[in-house]
Amino acid sequence: MEAGNSTVLLQFLPLGLSEDPELQPILFGLFLSMYLVTVLGNLLIILAICSDSHLHTPMYFFLSNLSFVDICFTSTTVPKMLVNIQAQSKGISYIDCLTQLYFFIFFAGMDNFLLTVMAYDRFVAICHPLNYLLIMNPHFCVLLVLMSWLIVFCSSLIHILLMKRLSFSIGTKIPHFFCELAQVLKVASSDTLINNIILLVATALLCVFPVTGILFSYSPIISSLMRMSSTESKYKAFSTCGSHLCVVSLFYGTALGVHLSSAVTHSSKKSTVISVMYTVVTPMLNPFIYSLRNKDVKGALGRLLSSVASDP
């Protein structure tokens, strides 16, 4: 069936993590818990940064944006999976699948760019501390975020427009727990050469370039840290960089693991399980990484919770 003909009737069937009926309640409870922790944790980070004037700096401005994007990133996949488990149905309509695809690509791309921008922010703060406030002024910070949103918006839209030209069979099975672009392209009934070329180009734009930017930012950072004579200054710089590096390692490490496992083992089930790490687990752990390793964030969270508890 052509995608343009009677799209209301066209449905996909994501196979999920397991087809075992006995595992469904466990999976439902596990993913519901992780989703609630992700939303609550990242929301607390945003509220703490907004409510504490000490955290109104470029670094925490980017962190609040990252927390917001992580909430949206997880919300594109987990709620639909929970609904399917509860309703004991695997179907997702053609329109819903395209919508999920668009927002997943969009927020995954934003994660990439925000992590890169945060690396650049640390580079300026450590390597050019005297000019930090001049370079990372509020207008420039907002511009960096807006440019990231614009680039990712255009990239995501191109993928969806190209998807509209493909044809699929009714009830096509997707070996994943959501509509993941590469997996959807594999089950298309028509030629996907152009889509795959654009996917490779987008991967270079949204993954390779940001990773390269992060590596180039941290090379002079490490050199500057090694030259610091003050232990206190070195520890303070390392604490903020360490949190960022942990998040970067988690996000890119697990995403790379998905692609390597699919290339080596050709097991869609293993790739699906590993993909849970960067789609669900990493956004859940980000607030803990930044709050546990950063005394400023811990202090702001403590003051926020104290003010909430003291209100009648």
Task: Report pLDDT digits (tens) over 106-146.
Answer: 999 999 999 999 999 999 988 888 899 999 999 999 999 99
Span 6-31, pLDDT tens digits: 444 577 888 777 777 788 888 889 99
The rounded distance, in Å, linking the Cα atoms of 284 and 133 is 31
**pLDDT higher than threshold 50 for residue 156:** yes
Smallest CA-to-CA distance from 123 within 135, 138, 113, 112 is with: 135
Span 27-57, pLDDT tens digits: 889 999 999 999 999 999 999 898 888 888 9
User: Could you tell me the two tokens for 50?
Assistant: 């907004």
The rounded distance, in Å, linking the Cα atoms of 244 and 103 is 24
- The H or E element that residue 166 is part of is none
What residue type is assigned to position 206 of the chain?
A: L
Q: What is the pLDDT of residue 89?
A: 74
Q: What is the pLDDT of residue 13?
A: 80
Q: What is the pLDDT of residue 221?
A: 85
Name the more confident of 106 and 3: 106
Question: What is the homologous superfamily of the domain 11-310 according to CATH?
Answer: Rhodopsin 7-helix transmembrane proteins (1.20.1070.10)
Q: What is the pLDDT of residue 293?
A: 66
**pLDDT higher than threshold 90 for residue 91:** no
Q: State the CB neighbour count (10 A cutoff) for residue 127.
A: 15
Span 179-207, pLDDT tens digits: 888 888 888 888 888 988 988 888 877 77
Rounded to 5 degrees, what angle do the CA atoms 248, 249, 255 make? 90
Region 140-159: what's the mean pLDDT? 93
Contact between residue 248 and residue 215 where contact means Cβ atoms under 8 Å apart = no
Q: What is the pLDDT of residue 259?
A: 63
- Pairing of the two strands 92-93 and 11-14: antiparallel
Region 159-179: what's the mean pLDDT? 84
**Helix axes 282-292 and 231-264, enclosed angle (nearest 10):** 170
> CA dihedral defined by 106, 107, 109, 115, rounded to 10 degrees?
160
Q: Where are the domains of the chain?
A: 11-310
Span 217-269, pLDDT tens digits: 888 888 887 777 767 666 766 777 877 888 888 888 777 766 666 555 555 66
The rounded distance, in Å, linking the Cα atoms of 248 and 290 is 12
Could you give the percent of the chain with pLDDT greater than 70? 88
* Helix ranges, the chain (H): 24-51, 58-75, 78-87, 94-127, 132-135, 138-163, 181-186, 193-203, 209-227, 231-264, 268-276, 282-292, 295-310
Region 267-291: what's the mean pLDDT? 78
- Reduced to 3 states, what is the DSSP secondary structure of residue 177? coil
Q: What is the pLDDT of residue 4?
A: 44
User: Could you tell me the two tokens for 67?
Assistant: 């927390």
For the chain, what is the largest distance between any 2 Cα atoms, rounded to a whole number of angstroms? 69
Unique residue bearing structure tokens 């089930």 = 269
Strand order across the beta sheet in which 11-14 lies:
92-93, 11-14, 172-174
Please, is 194 exposed, middle or buried when counting C-beta atoms within 10 Å of its C-beta (0-12, 13-18, 19+)? exposed
**pLDDT higher than threshold 50 for residue 172:** yes
For the entire predicted model, the pTM comes to 0.87
Cα R_g (the chain), whole angstroms: 21
Rounded to 5 degrees, what angle do the CA atoms 187, 189, 193 make? 85
Residues 6+ apart with CB under 8 A from 160: 98, 101, 102
